[in-house]
Amino acid sequence: MRSRLPVVLVLPAIAGLAFLLVPLAGLLIKAPWATLPSQLFSAEVGQALRLSLICASLATVVCLVLGVPLAWLLARSDLPGRGVLRALVTVPLVLPPVVGGVALLLVLGRRGIVGQHLDQWFGISLPFTTAGVVLAEAFVAMPFLVISVEGALRAADPRYEEAAATLGASRWLTFRRVTLPSVMPGVIAGTVLCWARALGEFGATITFAGNFPGRTTTMPLAVYLALETDPDAAIVLSIVLLLVSVAVLAGLRDKWISGPS
Amino acid sequence: MKRVLAVAALLLAGCGSPAPAQTGVSGNVTVFAAASLTESFRKLGEEFETANPGTKVTFNFAGSSALAQQINQGAPADVFASAAPANMKQVTDTKAVTATPTTFARNTLQIAVPEGNPGKITGLADFAKADLKIALCAEQVPCGAASKKVFEAAKITAAPDTLEQDVKAVLTKVSLGEVDAALVYRTDVKAAGDKVEGKDFTEASNAVNDYPIAALDKAPNAAAAKAFLDYVLSDKGKRVLSEAGFAAP
């Protein structure tokens, strides 16, 4: 039997929705719609958009490859100091992204702790490259993936894994065939969050990878610089980024996410 | 609710009318100033408060274009000091300022290299070398526009690795040694300390940046706004600015 929705929940919920959507509506209302098509198909916007999509996707792959095992370690192992480790993983979430970018420079920059050896031994220099953009985005976005996968793992019933083990499955086989499928919704939710965060990344990217068209200028960087001289163009660029990300997320939802809705 | 408002109004009224100082100005004066003026204007503000007891200078330092937009959206500023005439024009166009702005300082570009000059930079021509790491300001911000002018005048095609969003971001890259050379303002090199060395170059005279200042028409504290403006333009103000590396107009 359904009872009436409690007002104490509904009112703040509506206020919350308005709080999130009204600024978005403001962007749409103030948009110079006449110039939208020409902006959308201009070479610079196409270049920045393509770079954004490629880098965010590569960063998400990096996060998946490193983040899922990390989440598993945090949820399933009996490592000492796991609580501290879990708190440390969330550091990039609270760190201002610009500081994250400076930290990356101090470690991976040309004179960085690790970066100077990369430069001397292999001739690899990461700042000001597309690889640098991917790294900066992955650094900022990975906690989103780790936290959602770890949450899903902790909520999952470990007895299935134990049953698999009693049937003779190795831990790696159990992970692949039992654990991973059971936490798939959490992995997908984490992946989507991670990708979205990477797509909007600004501070760490511009600090670590700099800004050069075609190489490191992603959409958020293009928006920021457009704001300096032409606020209308910045609004248009923001809407382009919004439309594309909403389209991708909605498309993914239909194709991959068949959770209860 | 009404009572709360009444009390708030009383408090506000109380704040607005402390005992008048000798100069006749008092109260809060809000100054919107370009980020490159941070160090020098803080000092000027302190001196102004000492010279005019009862006044309090509040600063909002940011990029000139962001400040111009805030003013045009109705931010309650008394004085606007811009790093470029173009941004001052944004506020005179909307009639937020109808008085003629006064140029109070000039800034020129300087080559900035990390301590010890690892890239062995000798002049502007080195900026065309592809194997060196070079940082410039993006064309959209004043220092980038000035850099572009300088390279055009010198007929040099620069090969930058990054076009940064503001002059301080460029300076960070230099002080961390991530780039071999950059073009920034002379005042920024001075403010950066030992980690950055500055090198003058002759072509810099092609892009001298004027800093205009003006009081806003809707200044909440017009008397103090004028007093602060006069102070910036006075000999004392000029001295502080020249110590920071600015040239006199």
The ipTM (two decimal places) reads 0.78
- Please tell me if residue A130 touches chain B, with a CB cutoff of 8 Å: no
Q: Which amino acid is at B213?
A: I
pLDDT tens-digit profile of B106-121? Answer: 999 999 999 999 999 9
Given the candidates 3.30.70.270, 3.20.190.10, 3.90.470.20, 3.40.190.10, the CATH classification of the domain at B27-106+210-243 is 3.40.190.10
pLDDT at position A258: 52
pLDDT higher for A233 or B245? B245
Q: What residue numbers bound the domain in which A82 lies? A: 41-255
pLDDT at position A26 over 50: yes
pLDDT above 90 for A96? yes
The two tokens of residue B67 are: 């400040």
Helices (H), chain B: 2-16, 38-51, 64-72, 85-93, 142-154, 167-175, 186-192, 222-233, 235-243
The answer to whether the Cβ–Cβ distance between B140 and A105 falls below 8 Å is no
Contacts of B67 in chain A (CB under 8 A): none
Q: How confident is the model at residue A139 (pLDDT cuts 50, 70, 90)?
A: very high
| CATH number reported for the structural domain that contains residue A185 in this entry | 1.10.3720.10
Q: What is the pLDDT of residue A131?
A: 96
Residues from B contacting A (CB-CB < 8 Å) are 63, 65-66, 69, 133, 135, 138, 140-141, 160-165, 169, 172-173, 176-178
Mean pLDDT of B128-157: 91
Residue B11 has pLDDT above 70, yes or no: no
Counting the structural domains of chain A, the total is 1
Indicate if the pLDDT at residue A71 is higher than 80.
yes
In this complex, do A111 and B177 lie within 8 Å of one another by their Cβ atoms? yes
pLDDT of residue B21: 41
SS (H, E, C) A187-254: HHHHHHHHHHHHHCCCHHHHHHCCCCCCCCCCHHHHHHHHHHHCHHHHHHHHHHHHHHHHHHHHHHHH
pLDDT band at A229 (very low <50, low <70, confident <90, very high): confident
Torsion of CA A241, A125, A103, B114, to 10 degrees: -110
Question: What per-residue confidence (pLDDT) applies to A234?
Answer: 87
A115 lies in some domain: yes
**Cβ atoms within 10 Å, residue B49:** 14
**Across B179-207, average pLDDT:** 91
Mind telling me how many Å the CA of B154 is from chain A's nearest CA?
Answer: 22
Distance from CA of A229 to the nearest CA of B (A): 6
Share of chain A above pLDDT 70, in %: 96
Query: What is the pLDDT confidence band of residue A255, given thresholds at 50, 70 and 90?
Result: low
B164 closest CB neighbour out of A102, A210, A226? A210
- For the residues B118-142, what does the mean pLDDT come to? 92
Closest CA to B54 of B18, B13, B14: B18
Whether residue A246 is contained in a domain is answered as yes
Intervals of CATH 3.40.190.10 along chain B: 27-106+210-243, 109-206
Going by DSSP bridges, is the β-strand pair B79-81/B102-107 parallel, antiparallel, or unpaired?
Answer: unpaired
**A229 interfacial to chain B (CB closer than 8 Å):** yes
Half-sphere exposure of A43 (CA within 13 A, CB side): 2
Say whether A229 and B140 touch across the interface (CB within 8 A).
yes
> How are strands ordered across the β-sheet holding B79-81?
B55-62, B27-34, B79-81, B209-215, B102-107
CATH architecture of B109-206: 3-Layer(aba) Sandwich (3.40)
User: What's the CA gap between B218 and B91, in Å, rounded?
Assistant: 12
Contacts A209 to B, Cβ<8 Å = 162
Inter-chain CB proximity A228 and B141 less than 8 Å? yes
* pLDDT exceeds 70 at position A191: yes
Selecting from A109, A206, A221 the residue whose C-beta is nearest the C-beta of B178 gives: A109
**Closest-CA distance of chain B to residue A48, Å:** 14
Q: Is residue A194 classed exposed, middle or buried when 0-12, 13-18 and 19+ CB atoms within 10 A define those classes?
A: buried
Residue B64 marked ligand-binding:
yes
Residues sharing a CB contact under 8 Å with residue B78, sequence separation 6 or more, in sequence order: B29, B30, B31, B215, B216, B219, B220, B221, B222, B224, B225, B228
Would you state the pLDDT for residue A256? 58
Residue A195 located in a structural domain:
yes
Long-range contacts of A22-27 (CB under 8 A, 24+ apart): A24/A242, A27/A235, A27/A238, A27/A239, A27/A242
- Over 90: is that where the pLDDT of B78 sits? yes
Q: What does the angle CA B245 – CA B247 – CA B249 come to, to the nearest 5 degrees? A: 155
What sections of A77-96 are H helices per DSSP? 82-89, 91-94
